[in-house]
Chains A and B, each alone.
Chain A
Amino acid sequence: MLAFADLVFYMFAAMLLGSAMGVIFAKNPMHCVLLLILTFFNAAGLFILLGAEFIGLLLVMVYVGAIAVMFLFVLMTIDIDFAVLKEGFASYLPSGLIVGAVLMAELVIAGQAGLFSGARISTLTAMPAPDGVENIRALGQVLFTHYLFPFQVAALILLVAMIGAIVLTHRRREGVRRQNVMAQIARTREDSLSIVKVKPGQGI
C-alpha cells in the first residue's frame, strides 16, 4: 500500500510531466505559458515534499511571480507571428533528437557506472541540519551573517543591472505633456475662472 507522501509525489510528478509536455505541444502560446506556470507549481510541490520549502516557495515567487508573468507581458505586448517561429520544426527535429539521444545515453551510462548511487554518493555527507530549524530560517541565518559579504555584492550587481537598463534605453522626449499633480492641486478658482457680466443684447 502506498503511503500518503508517495501518493502526493506521484500526483505532483504526473501533473508536472503532463503540463511540461503541454508546454511543448500546445498550439496557442498563451496556453504554453499558463501550462508552464502549472509546471512550476508542481515542481514547487515536489520541493516542499522533499522538505526544501524555501526552494519551493522561491520557485513560485521568482519563476511564477516574475518570469512567467514577464513572458505573458511579452506575449501580449509584442506581435509575434508564431507560425513563422514554428517553421522548420521538421528540419530541426533530427538534430534535436540526436542531441537528446546522446544526453540520454550519457545519463544511462553514468547510471550504470553507479554515479548516482552507492559508494560515491555515500562518501559525500550533507551538512547536518540543526533540529527544529526550518530551512528558511537556517538559510536566512547564514545568508545574513556568514554570507553577508557576497550577498550584499550581489545586491550591488542587481543595482548595476538596473542602472544599465535605464542608461541604455531611457530617452527623455521633448514636448511630452506630463501631468503635474501639484500644479493641479494648487490651482485656485481665480486662476481658471473669470466671471463676465454680459448685458442683454450685447456680446462680449
Chain B
Amino acid sequence: MTPFNMMPFDWFAVAPALPEVFLACAAMGLLIVGVFSRGEVASRSVGGLALVSLVVTYVIMHAAKVADFQQAFPKGAVGFMFVADEFAFYAKGLILAAGVFSILLTPDFMNRNSINKFEYYVLITLATLGMMIMVSANDLLAMYVGMELMSFCLYILAAFWRDNLKSSEAGLKYFVLGSLASGLMLYGMSLLYGMTGDTSFDGIGILLGNGLPNIEHSVAITVALVLMIVAMAFKVSAVPFHMWTPDVYEGAPTPVTVFMATAPKAAAMLLMMRVLYQPLLALEDQWMQMLTVLSLLTMGIGSLLAIVQTNIKRLLAYSSIGNVGFMLVGVVAGTEDGVQGVLVYLAIYLTMTIGLFAVLLSLRRKNVFVETIDDLAGLARTAPGAAFAMMLITFSLAGVPPLVGFFGKFYVFSAAIAAGQTWLAISGVLFSVIAAYYCLRIVKVMYFDEGKFRPELNQPSNAQWIAVLAAAGVLVMSVFIDVLDHTAGRAASSLFRLEHTVARH
C-alpha cells in the first residue's frame, strides 16, 4: 500500500469557503425551485430567494470571519487555493451588494419587456459566486475557473433578451472577445507556470521574488506578464482593450448593464490588484510601466469619448471606462495607500453607478425606457425628485467636493503623488475636469432643455427608492468617509501580507 491510496478527505478543509459552498448550493436550489413552479410565480419566487441567498451568504461570510476559519483550517483541500483575508472580505461585500441591488432593479424592466425568466436570477447568483471565487483565489487555477464562471454567466445575461437584435449582438460580441481574452490569460498562466513550476500565488511570489535568480529578466516571464495584464485589462475594460464595453452595455438589457458595470468590474479590478501585488510583485518595475500607459489612455479615451455619446448607456459605458482609468492611477501608485484609495473609489463608484441606472430605470418616455440623453429633457419639471437625485449623482461623478465622488479621486490621486507619480496625478486631475463636462451636460439637459415628450416617472418600483438611497448615499457617505477609509485600509494592508524581499525605491 502506498500512501497515495490512503488519502482521507478532510471535509473541514472546505470550511474557509463556506459562503461560496452555500451560494453554490443555493444557486442549484433556485434552479430546482424555478423548474417546479410555473410562469410568473417562478421568476418572482426565484428572484426573492436569490436575494435572500445573497444576504445569507454575506451573513455566513461574516460568521466565518468572526470564527476565523482561515486560521482554524489553514491548509486543506480548499485552503491552499483559497484565501479569505480582509481584502477578500471587503471585495465580497462590494460584490454581494452590487448583486443585491441589480436583482432589485430587475423585475420591472424584465416584466415590461416580457423577458422575466427565472434563469436570470440563477445566472446572477452563479456569476456572483464566480466573482467571489475570483477575489478569493490564491492559485492560478482557482482564479481562472472563477473568472470563467463569472464570464459565462455574463455572456448569457448579455444575450438574455434574445428577441432583441442588439442584445443578441452584444452577447455574441462579448462571448467572442471574452473568449479571446480568456485564451490570452491561459497562455500567460501557462508560461508563468512553465517558468516557475508552481500555480499557487504564494509559490509564484516567492519564486519570482528571490527563489529563482534573475528570472524576472527572462523574456518568457515578461511575455506571461503582458498576456495576463492584457486579459485583466480586457475584464476591467481598460483602453485599448475596451472596444466591447460600449456595444455590450448598450445592447444588453438595462438591469444586466447595471450588473456588468458594477460587480464584475469591481471583481476584475480587485483580482488585478491581488495578482499584481501578490504573485507578480517582483515584476513591479515592468507592470508599473504598462499600467501607467493603460491608465493614461483609459482616463483620456474614457473621458473624451463620453462627451460625444448620445445614447445614455454608451455614455455610462465610457464613464465607467474613465473611472477605471482613475482607479488604475491608484494601482500604479504601488503602495498600500494606493490600494486603499482604489478600494474606497470602488465602493463610491458602485454607489454612483447603481444610483444613475436606478434613476434611468424609474423613468419612461412615451411608455418606453429612456435611451438617449435628449430623452431626459424637461425632467426637472415632470419629476423634480428624480432630476435632483440624478443631479446629485452626476455632480458626485464629476467630483464636486462636498459629494462623495470627490473623495474617491482625492485618495487615488494623493496616493499617486505620495508615491512620486506627480505627473500621472496631474493628468488624472485634467482628465477629470474633462469628465466633468459630460456630467454637467446631463444636468443641463434635465434642467434647461425642453423636449417634445417629457420623461415621466414609472409607477412606484424598486428603482425609485434605490435612486433615493443612492442619492442619499452620495451625500451621507462623505460624512462617514473615515469609516469606509478605515475598512478599506484594513483590507489593503491584508493584501501586503507576503513578506517579499524585493526592495522598492
- Interface, chain A (partner B; CB < 8 A): 124, 130-133, 137-138, 141, 144-150, 152-154, 156-157, 159-161, 163-164, 166-168
Contacts and interface: CB of A to CB of B under 8 A. Distances in A.
B9 A164 contact: no
A150 B4 contact: no
B133 interface: yes
Given A160-B123, A160-B156, A163-B123, A145 B9 contact: yes
Contact of A150 (B9, B142, B197): B142
Contact of B122 (A137, A152, A163): A163
Nearest to A161: B152
A153 B142 contact: yes
Interface in B65-101: 77-78, 81-82
A150 B141 contact: yes
B148 A149 contact: no
B383 interface: no
A141 B77 contact: no
Given A150-B142, A167-B119, A168-B162, A157 B155 contact: no
A153 B388 CA distance: 44
Contacts of A153: 130, 133, 142, 145-146, 149
B149 A168 contact: no
Contacts of A160: 123, 126, 149, 152-153, 156
A150 to B, nearest CB: 4
B428 to A, nearest CB: 37
Contacts of A150: 81, 139, 141-142, 144-145
B141 A147 contact: yes
A168 B159 contact: yes
Contacts, number: 84
B145 A154 contact: yes
Given A141-B7, A161-B152, A167-B119, A156 B2 contact: no
Contacts of B130: 153
B129 interface: yes
Interface string B1-26: 01111010100001001000000100
B77 A148 contact: yes
A131 B2 CA distance: 8
A198 B278 CA distance: 94
A81 B5 CA distance: 54
B160 interface: yes
A167 B149 contact: no
Given A130-B4, A145-B9, A150-B141, A156 B78 contact: no
Contacts of B123: 160, 163-164, 167
B373 interface: no
27 contacts: A132-B2, A133-B2, A133-B5, A146-B77, A147-B141, A148-B9, A148-B14, A148-B77, A149-B77, A149-B81, A149-B142, A150-B81, A150-B141, A150-B144, A150-B145, A153-B145, A153-B149, A156-B24, A160-B149, A160-B153, A163-B119, A164-B123, A164-B152, A166-B119, A167-B119, A168-B156, A168-B171
Given A166-B119, A167-B119, A157 B149 contact: yes
Contacts of B14: 148
Contacts of A138: 4
B31 interface: yes
B117 interface: yes
Top 10 nearest A-B pairs by Cβ distance? Answer: A164-B156, A153-B145, A150-B141, A167-B119, A160-B152, A148-B77, A150-B145, A130-B4, A130-B2, A149-B78
Given A146-B77, A148-B77, 13 more contacts: A138-B4, A141-B4, A147-B141, A148-B78, A150-B139, A150-B144, A153-B146, A157-B145, A160-B149, A164-B152, A167-B117, A167-B156, A168-B171
Contact of A145 (B7, B117, B139, B171): B7
Contacts of B119: 163, 166-167
A166 B149 CA distance: 17
Nearest to A132: B2
With a 10 A CB-CB cut-off, give which of B28, B123, B156 has the most chain A CB atoms.
B156
Contacts of A152: 24
A137 B145 CA distance: 24
With a 10 A CB-CB cut-off, give which of A130, A153, A161, A163 has the most chain B CB atoms.
A153
Contacts of A131: 2
With a 10 A CB-CB cut-off, give which of B27, B81, B145, B159 has the most chain A CB atoms.
B145
A29 B173 CA distance: 30
B296 to A, nearest CB: 35
Contact of B148 (A132, A157, A164): A157
B160 A167 contact: yes
Contacts of A124: 197
A168 B81 CA distance: 33
Nearest to B34: A163
Nearest to A164: B156
A26 B423 CA distance: 64
Contacts of B133: 153
A147 B162 CA distance: 37
B24 A144 contact: no
Nearest to A144: B9
Contacts of B153: 160
A130 B160 CA distance: 49
Nearest to A167: B119
A201 to B, nearest CB: 55
A198 B24 CA distance: 68
Given A131-B2, A149-B81, A156 B142 contact: no
A42 to B, nearest CB: 27
A131 B142 CA distance: 30
Contacts of A166: 119
A144 B4 CA distance: 13
A141 B126 CA distance: 27
A73 B429 CA distance: 60
B159 A157 contact: no
A199 B142 CA distance: 83
B278 to A, nearest CB: 18
Nearest to A165: B156
Contacts of A164: 123, 152, 155-156
A144 B149 CA distance: 20
Contacts of A148: 9, 14, 77-78
